[in-house]
Amino acid sequence: MYKISFYDTKPYDRQFFDKANKLFGFDIHYYETKLSPKTAVLAAGSKAVIAFVNDDISKETINRLCEQGTELIAMRCAGYNNVDLEASHGKIKVVRVPVYSPYAVAEHAMAMLLTLNRKIHKAFIRTRDHNFSLNGLTGFDLHGKNIGVIGTGNIGRTFIDICQGFGMNVYANDIYQSCEKAKYVSLDELFALSDIISLHCPLTSDTYHIINKQSIDKMKNGVYIINTSRGSLIDSSALLDGIMSEKIGGACLDVYEEETDIFHEDYSDTIIKDDLLLRLISMPNVIVTSHQGFFTKEALQSIASTTLQNIDDYANGRVLKNQVFVKKIKT
């Protein structure tokens, strides 16, 4: 039977993958620990490993997997910035789930914006304490506001559809101008025009800290920033400075650049040592969720079925339509 090692397992992962695996019949071994050079040994004898966004798939990890006979890394997500593709080249194949539910992430981005703007989270706490005052709960109409969308792939385009349903003016920036419903502008123009900015681009060397002190300085006073993509798109220190100076009116963060050892875990009885994250969470105009934008039944079903189909395609010698390739080998 085809053995697979599954890392960073949560109960919901097992639920959806076990159901999807009834069609394939793989021998899946689930591990709660994240994939790293130290934990790669658990995959001994596995032809494939299933990994996630916060696993450490570095050169050292890849080399250890290869030494043990692993031939395929199946990412159960769209992003793969945590995979050393140069190290994998010619040694081990990498596949991903390019599309699972763009609606899940796009809807979560809008839910965060509505929650922060209309202070729904604060109203919820108040009314549970029988406090029905409206003081401090003022928001603003989304209708007629300018929203800048950076990245117009599947999720970005879906988010644009939602924004236009609210009557917002959409400006976009992307190398590939694939959305006819948005007006494409330069980044500097987008920063200057937007009342709200939402990030939907992948993390690359070009987009790392695309939101930084210099770009924040170019934005409108009171701008809202939404990030449901990758944490390192934002320089968190610059973001906090912008919030403290009131240049930034609000931030909705489903991701954080140092989230690896924190998000998806329970630290309610533990002192978190990340002072920057604690300060961001403490701000009254910041909402942080634990990288849950993807977290719908439909998305989890799609992730499980696509991931196992990717592995089945490899096991049976089919074309890997979701394979990830390194763009350029450094010499």
Note if 291 is an active site residue. yes
Q: Which of 126, 230, 279, 298 is catalytic?
A: 230
Is 259 labeled as catalytic in the residue annotation? yes
Quote the CA–CA distance of 216 and 327 in Å, as a whole number.
Answer: 30
- 251, 281 contact by CB (below 8 A): no
HEC secondary structure over the chain: CCEEEECCCCHHHHHHHHHHHCCCCCEEEECCCCCCCCCHHHHCCCCEEEECCCCCECHHHHHHHHHCCCCEEEECCCCCCCECHHHHCCCCEEECCCCCCHHHHHHHHHHHHHHHHCCHHHHHHHHHCCCCCCCCCCCCCCCCCEEEEECCCHHHHHHHHHHHHCCCEEEEECCCCCCCCCEECCHHHHHHHCCEEEECCCCCCCCCCCECHHHHHCCCCCEEEEECCCHHHECHHHHHHHHHCCCEEEEEECCCCCCCCCCCCCCCCCCCCCHHHHHHHHCCCEEECCCCCCCCHHHHHHHHHHHHHHHHHHHCCCCCCCECCCCCCCC
- Of 119, 64, 105, give the one whose Cα is nearest residue 88: 64
Catalytic residue among 96, 157, 200, 291: 291
Q: Are 260 and 232 in contact (CB under 8 A)?
A: no
Phi, psi at residue 293, to the nearest 5°? Answer: -55, -35
Is 189 marked active-site? no
Active-site position among 108, 259, 265, 279: 259
Q: Which residues pair with 211 in a beta bridge?
A: 234
Known catalytic residues are: 230, 259, 291
